[in-house]
Amino acid sequence: MTTFLSGIQSTGLQHLGNYFGAIRHHIELAREDGEHFYFIADYHALTTTPKPEELRERVRETAVTYLALGLDAEKACLFRQSDVPEVTELTWLLSCVTGMGLLERAHSYKDKTAKGAKPSVGLFTYPILMAADILAYDSNVVPVGKDQIQHVEMAQDMAGHFNNVYGDGSEGGAVFQRPEARMPKEAAHAKVLGLDGEKMSKSYGNDLWIFETGKKLKKAINRIATDSRPPEEAKDPAGILLLDFLKLFAEAGESAEWCERVQAGGADAPGYGHIKVRLVELIEEHFREARARRDELLRDPGEVDRQLAAGALVARARAAATRDRALAACGLR
């Protein structure tokens, strides 16, 4: 049976990159056969030292986001990372077989510190905690966006190192299973661009919250980078960020029509303002039902906490078994 696992940090509100690159993919996969573990990475969120009250809120908000968007919590185990402290034990075991060189190659660490994040030990060893998350549940498939691929590859390396040192070398004697990353099929979903055309990211300030609506949504859409060419000028649609956004939400036929009109130019060609108006409508419509479900769920936080607690029980039992296996393999039991 295939085991799917992925996590999402609770550092801020989830954005369209998280939605297309991860959450929507997770929800679709959870309809397939197999085991499904999805968690809120609150230990990882500590690398940005959030305010405690804010972190607590964000964890619940992230769970609400998954449920509102349609995750079936009966089929998928939704839980909070810190409810499974076994992963921190596994982190230590893995850190003892992980070379500094491996971590020094991590793009994400270089990227985050270049953008002003404090270069803490936690931020540096972040990929080891992530590998522990992945390996603790014997996951085979890790559905993530493009930016997390390197981290999954590092988890593969760490599993391999640990197995080499402590496995008995037989086919069935591996301590950890080798996980494989899986990105959404469409490249535009695996790496969603932000309002400025760079990768959408909370830390770049170019993100759009999934449930943004009304005036704030309009304001955000107005921020999408455009140029000053007039509507009648014929343009290559490939270089127009606004059309990339539209393609995320419009049916294929409608997107093609907008692109053709932009490419043709002339008196009937739409201006960027027109496209923005339509984009706002499409986003409002796309998340309308989920937004209503979110409001309902927020009215009953006890129910959300109950679901997270139920998920934690299942997840913890699984991670404890892996932890015991790993401790025994390295002589601590």
Return the number of the residue (145 or 231) whose C-beta is nearest ligand TYM.
145
Q: Does residue 148 touch ligand TYM according to CB under 6 A?
A: yes
Minimum distance, C-beta of residue 189 to ligand TYM, in the bound complex (Å) = 7
Amino acid identity, position 146? K
Selected catalytic residue, list 112, 235, 247, 276: 112
Dihedral through CA 221, CA 226, CA 231, CA 235, nearest 10?
-120
CB-based burial of residue 318 (10 Å sphere; 0-12 exposed, 13-18 middle, 19+ buried)? buried
Is 110 an annotated catalytic residue? no
Whether the Cβ atoms of residue 208 and residue 15 lie closer than 8 Å to each other: yes
Question: What SS3 class is residue 324?
Answer: helix
Residue nearer to ligand TYM on the CB measure, 63 or 142: 142
Nearer to ligand TYM (CB atom), residue 26 or residue 235: 26
Given 202, 235, 247, 276, which residue is catalytic? 202
Dist CA 121 CA 30 (whole Å): 34
HEC per residue, 213-242: CHHHHHHHHHCCCCCCCCCCCCCCHHHCHH
User: CA-based Rg of the chain, rounded to a whole angstrom?
Assistant: 22
Near ligand TYM in 28-47, by CB under 6 A = 41, 44
The C-alpha atoms of residue 109 and residue 154 are separated, in whole angstroms, by 13
Using CB under 6 A as the binding rule, whether residue 12 contacts ligand TYM is answered as no
Query: What is the pattern of x (binds ligand TYM, CB under 6 A) and - over residues 195-224?
Result: ----xxx-----------------------
Report, in Å, the least distance between residue 180 CB and ligand TYM: 12
- What residue is closest to ligand TYM based on CB? 21
Q: Of 8, 63, 159, 248, which lies in the binding site for ligand TYM, with binding defined by CB under 6 A?
A: 8
Contact call for residue 17 and ligand TYM (CB under 6 A): yes
Active-site amino acid positions: 112, 199, 202
